[in-house]
Structure 1
Amino acid sequence: MKKLVLLAVILITYSGHAQTQEALVFLDAKENVSASIANPISILTQEAIDRKMMHDVSIDERDVPVTESYITTLKAQSGITVHSKSKWMNAAYVSGTQAQIENLLNLAFVTEIEFMDPDLNLFPAPNPTRDKFEIENMQGRVVYDYGAAANQIEMLAGDYLHEQNFSGEGMIIGVLDSGFPNVVGNPAFSEMISENRLLGTFDFVLDQVSIGGSSTHGTKVLSDMGAFMDGQFVGTAPKASYYLFRTEDAASEKPVEEAYWLEALERADSLGVDVVNTSLGYQDYDNPNYDHSYQDLDGVTTLAARAANLAFEKGMLLVTSAGNDGGGFTFVGTPADAIGILTIGAVDSDGVYAGFSSIGPTVDGRIKPDVMAQGASAVVVDQNGNITTNSGTSFSSPIMAGVVACLWQSRPEARNYQVMQIVRESASLFSNPTDEMGYGIPNFEDAYNAMQALGIEEVFLNSNFALYPNPVVDSFNISFPTEISSAVIYVNSITGKLIRKQNIYKDNNKIDLSNLASGMYLVAVKSQELTNTFKVIKQ
């Protein structure tokens, strides 16, 4: 039976019906589901398929795109604007008057409606939009050498991972933020650009490839992971590859931004992203009718929390900022409340809790934030290539996300939940967590040792091809599963162009790459029974 989700039985005035509302519109069964799942390359990239296979994540109906004819019909309805769509939830995010949205229930393919304002109160008098990046935008412009940036890495023992040659090679990080001006022309990212490790961009707010956006926030966030300025500044994952997605409109605060965030996560999953950093959070909106109460922040209720949990189920590892409401709302917002997300609070350069950092627990009693990193006077590179300091959990999150990516690089076959738990268990307060600090500050040397002790490698190698060493200097070897003795190897450029095809055998398993230029390649190993694909770095 069709129903209105979360719609109370209340008296609605005519003026209430005339106000613009926002809602999720849930749709009927998708088309071509069986055919799409049987031919997953039609809906996912090969990298996404390989990541799901490696982590034993099923490809299911949620991976199939929304039926486009439904979206076309919704767009044609009087007064309705379609802002976003979600394949995971099989829904569209729309705006219109309450009556116009309710009329969508007359369409045969609309099954439910969930209003963002559960009580549908009258729209109040507008208030000035609060700058959610107020803390981050208060700069202390100084000239730093490498040592200044080193503190935020060494606090986590992230430098230990770099010393083990784990700097993010082959890992793909998705960054969801408010704008990324001048990334291509910024000297901090010149190496990323020249090595073709900026894999793609998209603005979900304006539906375009350009991601300049309404804020410089994303550029600074990206720098704490991906920047490299020799002798001056190094991010925590300087050799990773990146997708940049704008999901936030810094000029306003509306719940549609949670829908853009969901859509970006779906795009990230389909592209094979491993780690996602989100230095965004939602609790209060321009229209207070949409505000999330503390009771809403139980990890499963808000649109952003549900999106995060779906992304977690799909095998990605999400890292997010706890928020800067330590002196206001107090508690972490969303998606920081989500069960399937690693939430990062802020400390100062001495590892002491920063008073602006949002705290826990969640309303259902879970520890949040999970762990901490430097967020007070964190070192960043701005949109002009200047090294400066900003404060906020917006920067403790990418500092942590980059190190997490390097850790996962050391054992890419590990599951996302295993990596997250190992990070928590390595932290300074794991045995005695607090509301302010969660489990404390992780030690990634300890986390690395714990990762190497995971008892999953033998089972994995007995049933999969493996490639070593990676990165490659001149050649690499392929180890074979127990029951397979021959295969065909395909070496492709990162854009998918076939460079080499070669037969390979268990007793003749070396592949020479000495004639290839430095960079990233996709290597597929195929037998009749099995296919594994690897991201290979040629040095």
Structure 2
Amino acid sequence: MLGIPLNDQDAPIEQSYIQNLQNLGFTVTDYSKWLNGAAVNATPAQKILLQAQSYVLSVESFARNNSPVLKTAPGKWKDDASINKTLTNFNYGSGAAQIDQVNIRPLHLAGYTGTGISIAVIDAGFPTVNTGTAFSRLWTGNHIKAAYDFVTKTGDIYNTTLSTHGTVVLGTIGGYLQDTFVGAAPDADFYLYRSENATVEIPEEELYWIEAAEEADRKGVEIITSSLGYNVFDDSRYNYTYANMNGNTSFIARGAGIAAEKGIFVLAAAGNSGQQPWHYLLTPSDNAKVFSIGSVDAAGNASGFSSFGPNALGVVKPDGSTQGTGTTTVYDNATLTVNGTSIATPIAAGGVACLIQAFPTMDREQMRTKLRQTASLYPSHSDQTGYGILNFGSLYNLVLNTSEMVKKEKLSIFPNPVKSILNIASEQEILSLEIYDNLGRLIRTSNRQKSIKVEDFAKGTYYLKIQVKDKVFYEKFLKE
């Protein structure tokens, strides 16, 4: 991927080592080629036995302390969601505000809707994805490429007894209901992986996640989006402290960092702990190479529940934010309103898919940097929203306008806002233009015009697609 060479992490685990562990009486529950290790259950005495083996470099325990306190770990995502069953009040439209807040629409209008870009969604379950109307377009377009449950080691991720969390995350990116909802990257390809058992909170889930990420890498996936995060477990011996949120301590953070080093754009939810005693971000969003997403409301204010950065080493986290309060997604055949950084993250993932389609050779670290630099607060930042609200259209235009392939011609529109006639000032001849409304519908076309009558337009936001000889411009205007 992107010319990144193979290394020792890509070599499979030496099977003789696995066999030796089994010969010693251990059951190998999971293993990772990236971490070059295997997971077993072991007593303190057995740990000494393991360390004595010539092929064992080190023995690490999930346990952070020796005093277990069994309890139910708090939920990692916001549960408050409401289904709109009438569907009559929504269109492209029900998700328009969250798309426009991060300026994804210019990429859609330019034809960048995620086509040919593969996204691995690593989550807790995907019921109704195989039957729901909201996902039928993904199936008819052959956009669901693979599915696997790394918890049960089966392909049954659509079971209705599983958490619906992954379904609504997928819906935010790839869901589609005619005249009702369009996801952030509706034409992307998807690999659906379950690593999370929502009924318990156990450290083994970190290894399931790494296995899923390794499989995504094997499939050549460009993006991993994961709305999962960890800090406490049902058994408190495994709990993390804030000092552990350094991007290098947890197994999952290490695995996510390796995925990013291999050219995968990894996004992770910052967490929903902002109003809890533990108000910090969760792992793996603490890794510096993982693009961590916080939540804002429709007005751009930080969501109270959104977890705080920075990570324990002082790295700015989250990296940026999208709408996670009152966010629209789809489930089965209806729209759904959900709160949480879990639902903010897939909006960003969809935007990244559109960017990668537009600029497939752009280095992923460069893309992460430019996303931070075009966010609303940069060069400042806040501990709850990072560098601010992401702006995918701004990055898109920035790259276009700095490319050596792009001429130095300029274009502007005025007045803006406009009441009656919109004028276009261009150094080149305008070959054609198209006007789209806020729902993405084409409402007018014309050729070679530099003024447009808009007095009969309804009040609201509109988008211009203007073709000149060597370039296409995208402009937004407000009709008063």
TM-score category of the 2 structures, normalised to the smaller one: 0.7 to 0.9
Aligned counterpart for 2:81 among listed residues 136, 139, 142:
139
**Are positions 1:409 and 2:351 aligned together?**
no
CA contact (8 A) 1:95 1:101 kept: no
* SS at structure 2 position matched to 1:113: coil
Check the 8 A contact 2:76/2:271 in 1, yes or no.
Answer: no
> Structure 1 residue 240 and structure 2 residue 193: aligned?
no
1:439 maps to which of 387, 404, 426: 387
> Identity over aligned residues, as a percent?
37
2:12 counterpart (37, 42, 65): 65
Give structure 1 stretches of 5+ with no counterpart. 1-51, 459-539
Between the aligned partners of 1:423 and 1:71, the Cα distance in structure 2 is 42
Residue from 31, 38, 61 that aligns with 1:115: 61
Report the equivalent of 2:163. 215
Structure with larger RCO (C-alpha < 8 A, sep 6+): 2
Determine which of 252, 255, 258 is the counterpart of 2:200: 252
Give the aligned partner of residue 36 of structure 2: 90
Compute the displacement of 1:453 (Å).
4.8
Q: Is the 8 A contact 2:377 2:389 kept in 1?
A: yes
Provide the residue aligned with 1:128 in structure 2.
72
Superposed, which structure 2 residues align to 1:27-426 within 5 Å?
Answer: 52=1, 55-78=2-25, 80-119=26-65, 121-124=66-69, 126-133=70-77, 135=78, 137-142=79-84, 143=87, 144-146=89-91, 147-212=93-158, 214-328=162-276, 329-382=278-331, 384-426=332-374
SS at the partner of 2:268?
Answer: strand
RMSD: 1.7
Give the number of equivalent residue pairs: 399
| Structure-2-length-normalised TM-score | 0.80
The equivalent residue for 2:461 is none
Q: Within 2, Cα distance between the matches of 1:244 and 1:254?
A: 21
CA deviations on 1:183-242 (whole Å, 9 max, x unpaired) are 111111111111211110111111112213631100000000011111111110100000
Q: CA deviation at 1:83?
A: 2.3
Residues 440-484 of structure 1, C-alpha deviation per residue, up to 9 Å, x if partnerless? 1122111102233566989xxxxxxxxxxxxxxxxxxxxxxxxxx
The whole-number CA distance in structure 2 between the counterparts of 1:429 and 1:365 is: 18
Once the 2 structures are TM-superposed, how far is the Cα of residue 84 of structure 1 from its aligned partner?
Answer: 1.5
Q: Partner of 1:111: helix, strand, or coil?
A: coil
Q: How far is the alpha carbon of 1:60 from its aligned partner?
A: 1.5
Q: Distance in 2 between matches of 1:326 and 1:300?
A: 22
TM-score (norm 1): 0.71
Amino acid at match of 1:338: N
C-alpha contact (below 8 Å) 2:149/2:194 kept by paired residues: yes
Whether the 8 Å contact between 1:344 and 1:373 is mirrored in structure 2 is: yes
The whole-number CA distance in structure 2 between the counterparts of 1:140 and 1:56 is 45
1:71 maps to a residue whose letter is: I
- What amino acid sits opposite 2:4 in the alignment? V
Unpaired runs of 5+ residues, structure 2, are 407-480
- Work out the CA distance in 2 between the residues paired with 1:413 and 1:106: 47
Q: CA deviation at 1:104?
A: 2.2
Q: Which shows bigger deviation, 320-329 or 66-75?
A: 66-75
Q: Is the 8 A contact 2:229 2:285 kept in 1?
A: yes
Match of 1:128, as an amino acid? T
The letter of the residue matching 1:127 is: K
